[in-house]
Copies of this chain bind each other. A is one copy, B any other.
């Protein structure tokens, strides 16, 4: 499904043109439309210009030689297998932006949210030097569950407010598990207070994203300590997050928090990247917003909508955020990262 979302988002992209699709050896040789027959799950049709692309074999980077200047990876396989394959593509000269979690923990692979840590792109230079890559590299995006709240947290840190503790409860959409994914019997008149592996990622990945480059190394942030409760709810698209957080030093007034969020702009906005939402953080004032169905498409699915800003009796501050998990949280977030890397000169 992430692959399908790439196609709909790349269709009219001003910089990138989809010219090559690779898949498992089993599907190689099929036309794209044949390969996804009965499994196309977008609400728009397969773009006509992509229907007849012949699938190459993703296990063979040589097949792409001379045909791609940028590769998006959303492989499904074991962690070690994905790691090896993505490095093989990079070694073959391909800049590779990945949705997979396989390389998120790899020290010289940057994990980038373009509005938060665009400077981590510098790790690509380290990676190329250490591994002998020329034009190729591997960069990754984080798990979709952090997109609904990490930009607002970053904006406060950037404004000088140190955050040392954070409790987040997620309300995650079914599309996060792909198709078929979650059984309908689990989400009719029901919710599930568990998503395998999700709490670990939600607690660990922000520390890398919020880390800083020292010399050749990425030093992970030491705070905030994060406690994540990850829950699946009967929603198709749009992850929600209810956050309580505490400041270690001075504490902003609520009005200042609101002002910081409204004013926040990142490098994608400054550079005017194609998929950058004009306002990356949209603050809603209605008491009962944001909501997944009504706010997931804000900013073309690329903005984070926040609301219910109020103080917290236990920590300091509370809010609720919504972002689109298969746009900003997957294909859209990866394309924006590729745009950033292109603008910074990392694509051939």
Q: Give residues in A with beta carbon < 8 Å to B.
A: 38, 41, 43-44, 165-167, 169, 171, 174-175, 179-194, 196, 203, 225-227, 229, 231, 233-236, 240, 242, 244, 286-295, 297, 307-308, 312-315, 318, 320
> What CA separation (Å) do A191 and B108 show in the bound complex?
39
CB pair B229–A193 under 8 Å, yes or no, is: no
When A183-B179, A236-B293, A320-B229 are in contact, do A193 and B307 touch as well, CB less than 8 Å?
yes
CB pair B233–A234 under 8 Å, yes or no, is: yes
The 5 closest A-B pairs by CB, nearest first: A180-B183, A189-B189, A169-B169, A190-B293, A227-B314
> What CA separation (Å) do A179 and B291 show in the bound complex?
16
List residues of chain B with CB within 8 A of the CB of A193.
171, 240, 242, 288-291, 307-308, 320
List residues of chain B with CB within 8 A of the CB of A187.
184, 188
List residues of chain B with CB within 8 A of the CB of A194.
287-288, 308
Kindly provide the distance from the CB of A203 to the nearest chain B CB, expressed in whole angstroms: 6
Specify the chain B residue showing the minimal Cβ separation from A235.
Answer: B189
List residues of chain B with CB within 8 A of the CB of A43.
293-295, 297
CB pair B169–A175 under 8 Å, yes or no, is: no
List residues of chain B with CB within 8 A of the CB of A307.
193
When A169-B169, A314-B227, A315-B167 are in contact, do A190 and B41 touch as well, CB less than 8 Å?
no
Kindly provide the distance from the CB of A302 to the nearest chain B CB, expressed in whole angstroms: 15
CB pair B41–A236 under 8 Å, yes or no, is: no
Some 17 contacts from A to B, beta carbons below 8 A apart, are A38-B286, A167-B244, A175-B185, A180-B180, A182-B183, A185-B236, A188-B234, A189-B292, A190-B294, A203-B313, A226-B313, A226-B314, A227-B314, A229-B318, A233-B233, A233-B234, A234-B234
List residues of chain B with CB within 8 A of the CB of A41.
185, 294
> What CA separation (Å) do A181 and B293 show in the bound complex?
17
List residues of chain B with CB within 8 A of the CB of A165.
314
> What CA separation (Å) do A187 and B294 show in the bound complex?
11
List residues of chain B with CB within 8 A of the CB of A293.
43, 188-190, 236
Kindly provide the distance from the CB of A262 to the nearest chain B CB, expressed in whole angstroms: 15
Specify the chain B residue showing the minimal Cβ separation from A182.
Answer: B184
